[in-house]
Amino acid sequence: MNKRLFLASLYLAFPITSLADPLHSRTGGEYWHHDSGWIFPEKIGAFTRVGVPQDVAGSRDAVAWYAYVDDAGARITASVDVFPVDSAADGVTLESARDSLRHEPGADAGNWQERELTLGQQPALPTTVISLAARKGAQTWMYFADGGGWRVRIRVNSPNQSAAVGQAGLDFAQAQRWETLGAH
C-alpha cells in the first residue's frame, strides 16, 4: 500500500476533530465564555484587559488578566478566573483559595482581613473578600463568589497599600458582568 493511500485510510478511520474554542470575541472587545456565559469586557473601571482571555489547559475553566497604573505610577494587576464547581484547578474552593494566599512568599498572616459582601444585581452573589498585606507593603485582594454551578475568583495585586487602590479593586469586582454567570 502506498503512503498516501495509507494516510487517507487512517484519516477516514480516525477523523481529526478539533475541540470547539470556549471563548468567543464579541463587539466592543468583549469575550464570551460559552460554558459559563461569563463576559470578559475589554475595560472595567480603571482596568484594561491585557491580552485575550484563555481557557485553562483545555478544561472548562477560563481566565483573563487586567491592569492599570495608579496615580503614584504603580502597576496594579488583576485576574478573573471562572471555573465550574467540579474543576480540578488549585483554589477551586474558598478554603483552598485562602490557603494559597496564606502560603504566598511574603504573606503576613497578621495583616489578614476577611469579610462578606454581595456582588452583582441579578443574580446577586454572596462573595467572600480577603485582603492580605504582604511584609514589604504589597497588598492582595481576593473576591471569591460561588453561584449557579460556577465560581469566580478575582485577585487584585498592588505593589503598595493604599485606600485608592483598594477602592479601585472593589470597583473592578463590583463592575464585573455578574448577570452573565450561568447564562448561556
What pLDDT, on the 0 to 100 scale, is given for residue 10?
A: 43
Q: Which domain holds residue 175?
A: 3-180
What pLDDT, on the 0 to 100 scale, is given for residue 123?
A: 61
C-alpha–C-alpha distance, residues 92 and 69, integer Å? 29
What pLDDT, on the 0 to 100 scale, is given for residue 114?
A: 77
What pLDDT, on the 0 to 100 scale, is given for residue 64?
A: 97
Residue 47, exposed/middle/buried by CB under 10 A (0-12, 13-18, 19+)?
Answer: buried
What pLDDT, on the 0 to 100 scale, is given for residue 32?
A: 92
Structurally, the chain folds into a number of domains equal to: 1
Residues of the chain with pLDDT under 70: 1-20, 108-110, 120-124, 132-135, 184
Peptide linkage before 126 cis (omega within 30 of 0): no
What pLDDT, on the 0 to 100 scale, is given for residue 7?
A: 43
Span 75-101, pLDDT tens digits: 999 999 999 988 887 777 788 888 887
C-alpha–C-alpha distance, residues 101 and 4, integer Å? 55
List the CATH number of the domain containing 164. 3.40.1000
What pLDDT, on the 0 to 100 scale, is given for residue 65?
A: 97
What pLDDT, on the 0 to 100 scale, is given for residue 121?
A: 63
